[in-house]
Amino acid sequence: MKIRPEQLSNTLNNQLDALYFVFGPELLLVEQSLTQIKDAAKTQGFDDKISFEIDGNFQWDQIVAEISAISLFSPKRIIECRLKTGKIGIKGSKALTDIASSLPNDILFIISTGKLDMNQQKSKWFKTLEQCGNVIQHWEVQSDHLVGWITNHMATLGLEANPEVAQSIAFCTEGNLLASMQEIQKLQMAYPSGKINTQAYLDQASQQSKYTIYGLIDAALLGDGNQVLKIYDTLIDDTAMPIQLSSSLYREINSIIGMAIELQKVKRIDTVLQSNRVWNKRKPVIGNVLKRHPYQRLQKLLLSLGRVDRSIKGMDNLNITDELRTLLLNLAGKTQWIQ
C-alpha cells in the first residue's frame, strides 16, 4: 500500500505493520520517515535492531538467518536494510520478494533507498513490497515549494511564521534540505521564544553567506575571480569542504547547462530564467553566467568536476584543492583552458 509522507504519522498511530519501504532522492526526508517508524516501533516493544547495508555483492541469506534466529534481548526485532541502489539483481529481487512475503509477527522489516526510476518501480520486488507492506515515496522539494517547506518546519519547531526569514534560508542553502534544517535548528536555539528578530537575522545571514560554499559558487558565477580566491582561502582548511563544494557545484552547473541549451532555442535569458523558476534574487547570478559561458564550456567544466569527484573517492589522483580552485576560476572566466 502506498502512503503519502504526510499520512505516515496518523497511519503509525493507528497500526504498526510488519513492513515499510521508504525511498526518494532527498536523504533528509527519507531519514525523517525512518525515524518516525522506528520511534513508533519502540513504543510497541521493538527494542532490538540490526541493520544491513546492501550492495551488489550482498549475501541475502544473512537476512534470512537473522529472521530465523531467536533474539536473547527482545522477542520483537527491527531488521533494517539500506539499499545503496535500486539495482539489486536477480538474486536480490528473489530474496527480497521471498522475505517480504513471509515475515513472522515478531519482525519489523524496514527498507530504504534513494531515487528509483520507473522501471525499478515496476519490478517484481517493488510490487511485492507494495502488496505486503507500506511504501512511502519522497519527492524532491522543488525551488518554488522550498520556502513553504522551510516555513512548515519552522512552525514544527515552535518558530513564528516568517516569510522573509524562510526566503533567506532557502536562498542561502539553495535547495539543500539538510542545510536548511540546520539553519532552522540554529534559529530555534537563538530564539527559544519563537519570535525572530528579522532584521538582525537577515543582516547576519547576509554577512555569513559571503564566506560559505554558496557564496563561493556565486562569486564564480558572477565572474569575480578575486572574491573566489578570497573565499576559497578562508574555507580551504575545512576537510569537508571539497566534498560539499564538488556536490553543490555539480548540481549548480548541471542545472545551468540545461538552461544554456534551452537558451539556444528561445534566445531570451529572462524567458529561460522564468521557465526554470529561478528565484528573483538569483536571476542576476544565473543570467550572468549564461551570458558568459556557452553550454559546451559548461559541459567541459562538468567533466572536470567528474574527475575531481573520482579523486575525492580515491578513484583518480588529481590534487583536489588545486583542481577545485582552477575549476572555480574557469567558471569565473579568469583563466581559460588551452585549446
- What domains, with CATH codes, occur in the chain? 2-137 (3.40.50.300), 143-209 (1.10.8.60), 233-332 (1.20.272)
Model confidence at 284: pLDDT above 70: yes
Percent of the chain with pLDDT over 90: 42
The yes-or-no verdict on residue 332 having pLDDT over 70 is yes
Is the pLDDT confidence value at 159 over 70?
Answer: yes
Sheet strands side by side (includes 107-113): 2-3, 134-137, 19-23, 107-113, 77-83, 48-54
- pLDDT-based confidence at residue 170 (cuts at 50, 70, 90): confident
Query: Contact 136/33 with Cβ under 8 angstroms?
Result: yes
**Does the pLDDT value for residue 52 go beyond 90?**
yes
Question: Which pLDDT value is given to residue 203?
Answer: 78
Contact 269, 291 (CB under 8 A): yes
Does residue 333 register a pLDDT over 90? no
> Per the structure block, which three cell numbers stand in for 191?
530564539
Listed in sequence order, the DSSP H helices in the chain are 8-14, 27-43, 61-68, 89-101, 118-121, 124-132, 143-156, 163-173, 177-190, 198-209, 213-221, 225-235, 241-266, 269-275, 283-292, 295-312, 320-332
